[in-house]
Structure 1
């Protein structure tokens, strides 16, 4: 990786599409990233929020996004239902999604104190008084299309809200990155990746 490469972090809001070109239904990254010639290193679905890394360095972009480099991604998923051991075991062992089997994930049930630092989502999630929900922390090294949502659904927990908290050593909460904020990460943090 050259020392001239730019690395930016963005706390992507819900509803923003992961492209710079205009879109007929959704705001694009152009609204939040006023830097030319940078590209997302990995993607986040329009209905997912949180940490997105951008760079002008194709080699670094590949290292961040490609599963062969084993860069861990951390997600917090608010899911519908109650905690049960069978679902947790399924996620920890790998989930057969039909078109592929996921690698085992590191799973932790979160408490309300863990998620208290999260920003409110706009629009808020739908809440059903008769159906409980809870939060899971899911750490994976893959990143296939809608993988975390599909894993949760297969375990019996439809995903209500999905936030990418971390990529490798970087955490959106540790960076104190406000919703919609884009900031450059100092280069020394990237040595060794």
Structure 2
């Protein structure tokens, strides 16, 4: 019988269970957060410096179904500066980013400026303080997931990402989970 988990991947953790030769040994891995069953895999990834909702499963079919390109993923992104409507429109329509040394035009997505900062647990490494200038938060919802895509998208419109938190995958929400928290679920709402 397969098992499924939702976790709040904290900042500074890799979305994997074992290290390979290219990964330094002192990296934090998902297996340090919980005693997961053998053959547990992350469904998609979050960069080491990204955080938020990550789904785990022992079922490869479920993993393929969720990463197949039709399930929405929503991110709350803190960007450097006060982003305007023009940049939000560009994000929504698709922007050109680099993927593996080639130019790539992102698919249209839902991009909305948040009117107030969301409440997340403090990050283990602070972002910065107000002496460095203002920041703003946006919500970006997409179905594709290229390498560091959201960060590349905000940079492409002139607003580098400072903090990225995935808050939703399909019908699964981060809600009020604490960083590092693991919840076993019977199935995913995706």
TM-score normalised according to structure 1 size = 0.88
Residues 154-186 of structure 1 show CA distances to partners (whole Å, capped at 9, x for unaligned) of 01101000000010001111xx32210111113
Residues 51-95 of structure 1 show CA distances to partners (whole Å, capped at 9, x for unaligned) of 00000111100111221xx10000000000112122111101001
Which stretches in structure 1 are left out of the alignment for 5+ residues? none
Q: Which 4+ residue blocks in structure 1 deviate beyond 3 angstroms?
A: none
One of 6, 10, 14 as aligned partner of 2:11 = 14
Displacement of 1:130 in angstroms is: 4.7
- Match of 1:44? 46
Residues 129-158 of structure 1 show CA distances to partners (whole Å, capped at 9, x for unaligned) of 252100000001011100000000001101
Residues 91-146 of structure 1 show CA distances to partners (whole Å, capped at 9, x for unaligned) of 0100111421111110111132x502x11111110235252100000001011100
Alpha-carbon separation, structure 2, partners of 1:91 and 1:25: 36
- Match of 1:168? 170
Alpha-carbon separation, structure 1, partners of 2:85 and 2:36: 46
TM-score normalised according to structure 2 size = 0.89
Which stretches in structure 2 are left out of the alignment for 5+ residues? none
Matches of residues 39-188 of structure 1 in structure 2 within 5 Å?
Answer: 39-67=41-69, 70-98=70-98, 99-112=103-116, 115-116=118-119, 118-173=120-175, 176-187=176-187
In the comparison of the two structures, how many residue pairs are matched? 181
Instruction: Please identify which structure carries the higher strand content.
Output: 2
Alpha-carbon separation, structure 2, partners of 1:9 and 1:136: 23
